[in-house]
Chains A and B, each alone.
Chain A
Amino acid sequence: MEYNTIGKPQPIISSVDKVTGRAHYTDDLRVHNPLHVKILRSPHASAKIISIATEKAMALSGVKLILTGADFKNTFGVLPISKDESALAKTVVRYIGEPVAAVAAESAAIAEKALKYIDVTYECLTPVIDMRKALDKTENSIHPELKKTTNLHKAVEQNFGDLDTGFKEAEQIVDEFFTFDAVTHAFTEPHATQVVLDGEGNITVYSATQVPYYLHKALAEVLEIPMHRLRVIKPHLGGGFGGKSDPFPHEMIAVKCALSTGRNIRLVFSREEVFYSHHGRHPSRINMKLGYHPKKGITALKGDMLIDGGAYASFGVVTSYYNGVLLQGPYELKNFGFHCDRVYTNKPVCGAMRGHGGVNPRFATEVALDIALTKAKIDPGYGRLDMILKPHSLTPGQFRITSSGLKQGLEKALQSSEWKRKYGKLPYGKGIGVACGFFISGSALPIHWTQMPQSTVRLTIDFDGGVTLYSGASDIGQGSDTMLAQMAAEVLGLPMKMIKVISADTRLTPIDYGSYSSRVTFMAGNAARNAAISIRKQLVEAACEILEIPPPIYASPAIPDSSFDLGGREPDFGNPYLGPNPKYHSDGFTFKDQLITTKQGNKSLNYLDVVRKAMDFQGALQAKGVYLSPKLGGDFKGAGAGLSPSYSFTTFVSEVSVDTETGFIKVDKVTCAHDCGFPLNPLSVQGQLEGSIHMGLGQALMEKMNYSRDGVLQNANFLDYKIPSAFEQPEINIVALESSENEGPFGAKEVGEGALAPLSPSVANALYDAVGIRLTSLPMTPDKVLKAMQQLKEG
């Protein structure tokens, strides 16, 4: 398929602004005469707040307002079922770093100074730090409002098929226990929020958020402001990865300060505060039992997970499900079950982090599978080929698998990395390992249960011919604005520079749920594409008028053969929803290079002339496009978790060198195959894969939130929380990206999250090939490697 812009490397559309320093991130905005807000945080992991004395602080010159928990009545949380957070702690503090009071002052220096004059009297309680202790019976649970006798937040269990029979059929049974330390997103831009008031009582909130729509709703609810008075705008954002995808206490605080003082507000976090905000990956303890038979594949898979949610709920209920349901791929399973307990502890909140809940269990499964294959003397690379989920199939939990390029991807990765020549044959200390994974392209079911489209995009074209695209989708650095522009540019045959994207402004842009669960390309991309097709229809009609030919007769979309084949049909112009990824080429015209040409090629019109004709009698052109997930999945409890209109599939083959005297692992090369359907922008796709490898490597080798036994975070800084540097990045070879996906826009699926999970297990499996040890705990620091090697030697 010959495209205008799709499939070609596109620098992201804001890149010139970013390389010149013109791009404004939230704290770069200069609002008029703001008060600066700083937050006082709890030094105790668990304590009752006995009293807060603010008089001395209020007496300081320049201090205008001090807020405490008493100033906030309503709680909030990203999931409607667990709104357990208050902007400021009310009667208890539940983690070190929890916001307790906030000061608004004329300067940041005064606000910071005033924090020291606030006197908080605490009565310390015994904190629960170890997630295992959280399951003990207690009279003083962290969330007594749940009326539970332990600190269990959520228990999830699903079972499909018959595990007993499955294990009986196995030739190899692997039963292994894994532990995973806490890791965090560690984006370089700290959280920031600025608030601007106008004379009519309208409140504009600029915030570093992945979810402007959720934030808007939460602000209205918590502060009891009519929604139409609020406007949430996301400026350029310096990285999210799930760490900016909740409505936050500091955002509530900032708006409340503005309302109470009548002043604009500026609030920005220190790096330490970013660590306290956290919302990172749940540390976990996972038991994975896998049954394998060379002729039957995985005969049974049972996961038992304990995940540590920290002090509040955040996305935790979803995380609990994802820990299990995301094991339904990428291999065929008949007998599968899991049980996941999420517990509260007195530590910073855990939430969604790139790969959300699917990462640690993926490590456990890929290592367990590797153990089974090697025990059965089957090549772990080629041996995985026969087990892969087939395209157009259903998983045990009724995930609808449509396209899958995993088989070709795995083959290409094994071939390209010369697996056969290397596996089991490299000198001691060098090894090669493989792992696979899969991930959702957005959740088919939204967090808030409505019938609203998952994404809505508006296009307008006015007299200058420029196309303005309005979308609620949040570009958090992943390049979604560019992707949206590509949709319009492609369908309308225009250069990218003629598309202006206005995004993530809740006054101007129609709802998109936000940038999380890898939904934006698939859902907002589809909506943008549909909007472009609708506006193209208007241009086609105008072109026909100019040419004095009859307008095309649009065929209705054919009834799909099966639910696996819903996309790529004629657009349903009779309905507001045109359908997923509809065709648009049967309208008799080619749109290319600002020319609109009949298919026969005999008549060619200038795009601007057609625009002007289309504007006769109706003025500016507008169109709206939406995306609706198809109705998917089963009817059982939790059936919705992990349901997605499409899934990505990843293979990593990692090659490592182990320093056998020190245990240091160097990942020399990673060969990657990631089925993203179709790479809309190869530069962005490669960038996501390279970034995923970096982040996976960090968790594999060196990242961990270092909590003391009393719950004190010892490395709330970038020196001691170790993000890999340029020296640690391996050589990367990307070998396969495509499959025949018919519902994603131009066949595209996600690439933002799926490629993280298989990285760590591919390194762990390579470690086994290199020195014969199996590590079952992340991060795999050199001391753990060496200890295991020594234990192996001692037999």
Chain B
Amino acid sequence: MILKDILYHRPESIAEAIGLSQECLNNGQRFHYLGGGTDLIPNLKRGQCDDSLHLISLGRIPDLKKIVEEDGKLKIGALRNLAELINHPLIEKIIPGLALAAGKIASPQIRSRATLGGNLLVDTRCVYFNQTETIVAADGACYKNGGTVCHLIPNASGKPNKPCRARFVSDSAAILVLADAQLEIASASGIRKIGLREFYGQDGISRNNLSPSEIVVGITVPLRDYRVMTYEKMRLRATFDFASVGIGFFSDGQTLHFSVNGVESYPLYRAFALPKTGENAVEGIYSSWLQGICEELAKNCSPLKQDLLSPAYRKQMIAVLAKRAAYKYIKPRSLNTLEC
């Protein structure tokens, strides 16, 4: 798996990077921005992208790695690597749930190079897509691979626009959507901001609303009390594996926020306002209410056969893990506010 016909650029500024990508676009040449490369390089080796490719390395652009508390927000440079992010005092102080989730990504060596931006933009995955050329040829190329079928959804109607169900696998996104984080995106026209919850699309191919030469340069997290926040990652091994099901949970005292990772083609986000309880509230209201919303969460999800664990099981586990996440903090007998 030798990477041939790669053209490499190492711009020293965001403007230079964008300029390079625009030149590629104008010349009809394919390009990728390169962060840590831990997602891109394996995919390139499997031949998922054409050769004759421009790689625009962002790794040496200063100012893309800063982590600061500024203007009432936590600002994280998109090119900060996960290993450093996990141990950063500001992350620990403000949003330890992000360190928890990031610490479960892949393996220690991968976290040394993988970036937060890269993880938020990690490609969607499917057992039929993330395959070598021999297997893709044997199966027949799927839509995401530029072909004309979807093997995952039987009896696909053959319409080329059939939504791709390659699944979303970013653990860091599962936390940051709970925090209603924003992305800072640079382009030739300047910086735009977009909430993470709006950023992702529904489709495993189009994935998000990033335009080709745009660069995610930063992630902004509003300052709130994120102490009641956790991430449950279910996978067969406690390392390397992507989430078979990942549940993010956050409570701000009035609303329970959940995210589901590893199932749909985007991080599914749902918020449930805590029920107001009065004097006539029944004992155990929280436990049955909680059970209900966890099942509600699972109801909206339809795992497909993309994992060694069965789809029916993974659907069941959404509710189980959501409850487990919530019960880390919630004492169900409490009729008033949350005890943490």
Contact = CB atoms under 8 A, between A and B. Distances in A.
Verify that A and B bind, or say they do not.
yes
Interface of A: 41, 43-45, 96-97, 108-109, 112-113, 270, 272, 661-663, 701-702, 704, 706, 708, 710, 712-717, 719-720, 722, 724-728, 781-783, 786-787
Nearest to A270: B1
Contacts of A782: 236, 309, 313
A270 B46 CA distance: 11
Contact of B134 (A272, A702, A715, A727): A272
A727 B238 contact: yes
Interface in B312-339: 312-314, 316-317, 320-321, 324
B310 A714 contact: no
Contacts of A720: 127, 308
A725 B135 contact: no
Contacts of A45: 138
A137 to B, nearest CB: 27
B239 A708 contact: no
A113 B239 CA distance: 34
B4 interface: yes
13 contacts: A43-B134, A43-B138, A97-B134, A109-B4, A270-B1, A272-B134, A710-B139, A712-B135, A713-B135, A722-B237, A727-B237, A782-B236, A786-B316
A43 B339 CA distance: 59
A728 B238 contact: yes
B134 A41 contact: yes
Contacts of B289: none
Contacts of A783: 309-310, 312-314
Interface residues of B, number: 30
Contact of A113 (B4, B132, B238, B316): B4
B137 interface: yes
B2 interface: yes
Contacts of A717: 132
A112 B2 contact: yes
A43 B137 contact: yes
B139 A704 contact: no
A719 B241 contact: yes
A475 to B, nearest CB: 29
Contact of B237 (A43, A728, A787): A728
Contact of B236 (A270, A710, A722): A722
A725 B316 contact: no
B234 interface: yes
Contacts of B208: none
Given A712-B139, A713-B135, A661 B309 contact: no
A365 B139 CA distance: 38
Given A96-B138, A722-B241, A786-B313, A704 B308 contact: yes
Contact of A272 (B132, B234, B309, B313): B132
A109 B309 contact: no
Nearest to B232: A662
Nearest to A714: B127
A702 B236 contact: yes
Contact of A702 (B1, B135, B138, B237): B237
A109 B314 CA distance: 42
B262 to A, nearest CB: 14
A661 B2 contact: no
Nearest to A718: B240
B313 A716 contact: no
Given A713-B135, A714-B127, A783-B309, A725 B4 contact: no
Contacts of B238: 725, 727-728
Interface string B234-264: 1011111100000000000000000000000
B131 interface: yes
A702 B237 CA distance: 8
Nearest to B309: A783
A702 B308 contact: yes
Contacts of A96: 134-135, 138
A58 B138 CA distance: 25
Contacts of A41: 134
B80 to A, nearest CB: 25
B132 A725 contact: no
Contacts of B324: 661
A781 B134 contact: no
Contacts of A722: 236-237, 241, 308
Given A96-B135, A781-B236, 20 more contacts: A41-B134, A43-B138, A96-B138, A112-B2, A661-B320, A661-B324, A662-B234, A662-B317, A704-B308, A712-B138, A712-B139, A714-B135, A720-B308, A722-B236, A722-B241, A725-B237, A726-B239, A781-B308, A781-B309, A783-B312
B139 to A, nearest CB: 6
Contacts of A713: 135
Contact of B240 (A44, A662, A719, A781): A719
A658 B132 CA distance: 36
Contacts of A702: 236-237, 308
Nearest to B323: A661
A702 B239 CA distance: 13
B41 to A, nearest CB: 14
Nearest to A787: B313
Interface in B178-221: none
A662 B4 contact: no
A662 B320 contact: yes
Nearest to B240: A719
Interface string B119-147: 00000000110011011011100000000
A44 B313 CA distance: 32
A480 to B, nearest CB: 31
B2 A109 contact: yes
Contacts of B312: 783
Contacts of A662: 234, 317, 320-321
Nearest to B238: A727
A75 B42 CA distance: 37
Contacts of B139: 708, 710, 712
